[in-house]
C-alpha cells in the first residue's frame, strides 16, 4: 500500500542517533534505515480458518493508512483450522504486527506488514511456560558511553526445571547510525548483555496442554535498551513511527526449520511468546 506520508520517513530517520563516523560511512548506513510501527489487536478465526473479524488496540491513535493496510490484509488471511478433540472450533488470537514504511520517491511511502505474531490472549495459561524471575540485563557500559540504543530478540530454550538450557540472540536492531564496525560492536555488546542475563532467568513450566511432557520449551523474548531508563521499545508512544537498522539474523542450533518461524521483530518488548503458536498462518501476510 502506498501512502502520501513522506514525513514518516523523515521523522523516523531523525529519531536515530548518529554516532561519530566518517561521513561516507554514515551515508551508506543510512540507506539501511527502516521506519516501522508495532501495532497490536485481536483476530477472530472461523472453523474453516478464515478471518471473520479483527480489532486493533487504540485504533484512534493509529494513522488511517495503517488501519487501511491492516483491514485489507486481514480479510485475505487464512489460518490452519484450530482443532479441539479433533473438531474445528472458533478461536480468537492476540496479534502483533510490525508495519514497515519505505520511501518510494515523489513524496510517497510504501507501507507493508513486515512480520506478525499470533498467540494466546491469556499469557498466564498453564499450557505454556510463564515467567517467574526475569531480572533485566545491565546496560553495557561501552554502548551507554557511545549513546547506543537497540532491541535484542532472543530465543530461549527452557528446561523441565524452568531454568534456561540455552539461548540465542536471534537478531539485534539498532536505533543508532555509525560505521559498520561501530554498529557491529554495539550489537555484540547488547547481545552479550542480554544473553548473560537470560541464562539466569527462571520460568514456571506448563502444567497442562499438549506440550506438558515436552523435554524442553522454546520462547521468543525481546529486550530493549533505551537511554533514560525506559524499558519499552525505543520509548515510542503507541501509534508512532520510529527508525531502526535491522541486524543480521542468527541461526538457532536446536531448531531445524528456522525459516518457518517468521521474523522475530513482531514480539512486543518484555513479553515472552511461544516459539510455535497454535495459530498457524497459511497465507502470506500481504494476502
* CA 176 – CA 184 distance, rounded (Å): 11
Model pTM?
0.81
Q: Kindly give, in sequence order, each residue whose CB lies less than 8 Å from that of residue 160, ignoring residues fewer than 6 positions away.
A: 205, 215, 216
**Which grid coordinates are listed for 247?**
541486524
Q: Assign 31 a pLDDT band (cuts: 50, 70, 90).
A: low
* Residues 120-129 pLDDT 10s: 877 777 888 8
Give the rounded distance of the alpha carbon of 36 from its chain centre.
11
Identify the residue with better confidence: 13 or 66.
66
- Tell which residue, 116, 93, 109, 95, has the closest CA to residue 6: 109
- State pLDDT tens for residues 74-119: 999 999 999 988 999 999 999 999 998 877 777 777 889 988 989 8
Number of Cβ within 10 Å of residue 12's Cβ equals 23
- Residue that wins the pLDDT comparison between 170 and 245: 170
Which among 168, 194, 173 is positioned nearest to 252, based on CA atoms? 168
3-state percent helix, strand, coil for the chain, nearest multiple of 5 = 25, 35, 40
What integer pLDDT is reported at residue 259 of this predicted model? 64
Give Dmax (Cα) for the chain. Answer: 62
Amino acid at each position: 500500500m502506498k501512502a502520501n506520508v513522506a514525513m514518516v520517513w523523515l521523522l523516523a530517520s531523525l529519531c536515530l542517533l548518529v554516532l561519530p563516523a566518517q561521513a561516507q560511512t554514515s551515508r551508506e548506513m543510512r540507506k539501511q534505515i527502516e521506519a516501522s510501527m508495532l501495532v497490536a489487536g485481536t483476530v477472530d478465526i472461523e472453523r474453516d480458518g478464515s478471518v471473520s473479524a479483527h480489532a486493533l488496540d487504540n485504533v484512534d491513535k493509529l494513522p488511517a493508512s495503517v488501519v487501511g493496510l491492516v483491514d485489507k490484509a486481514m480479510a485475505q488471511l487464512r489460518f490452519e483450522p484450530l482443532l479441539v478433540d479433533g473438531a474445528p472450533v472458533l478461536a480468537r488470537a492476540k496479534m502483533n504486527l510490525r508495519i514497515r514504511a519505505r520511501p518510494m520517491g515523489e513524496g510517497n511511502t510504501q507501507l507493508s506488514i513486515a512480520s506478525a505474531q499470533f498467540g494466546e490472549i491469556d499469557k498466564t495459561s498453564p499450557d505454556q511456560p510463564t515467567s517467574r524471575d526475569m531480572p533485566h540485563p545491565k546496560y553495557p557500559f561501552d554502548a551507554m558511553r557511545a549513546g547506543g540504543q537497540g532491541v535484542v530478540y532472543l530465543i530461549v530454550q527452557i528446561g523441565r526445571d524452568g531454568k534456561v538450557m540455552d539461548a540465542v540472540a536471534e537478531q539485534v536492531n539498532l536505533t543508532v547510525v555509525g560505521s559498520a564496525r561501530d554498529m557491529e560492536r554495539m550489537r555484540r555488546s547488547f547481545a552479550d548483555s542480554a544473553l548473560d542475563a537470560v541464562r539466569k532467568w527462571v520460568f514456571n513450566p506448563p502444567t497442562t496442554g499438549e506440550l506438558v511432557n515436552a523435554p524442553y520449551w522454546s520462547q521468543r523474548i525481546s529486550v530493549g535498551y533505551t537511554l533514560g531508563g525506559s524499558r519499552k521499545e525505543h520509548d515510542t508512544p503507541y501509534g508512532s513511527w520510529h527508525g531502526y537498522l535491522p541486524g543480521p539474523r542468527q541461526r538457532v542450533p536446536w531448531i531445524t526449520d528456522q525459516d518457518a518461524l517468521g521474523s522475530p521483530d513482531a514480539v512486543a518488548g518484555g513479553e515472552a511468546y511461544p516459539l510455535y503458536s497454535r495459530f498457524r498462518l497459511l497465507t502470506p501476510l500481504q494476502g
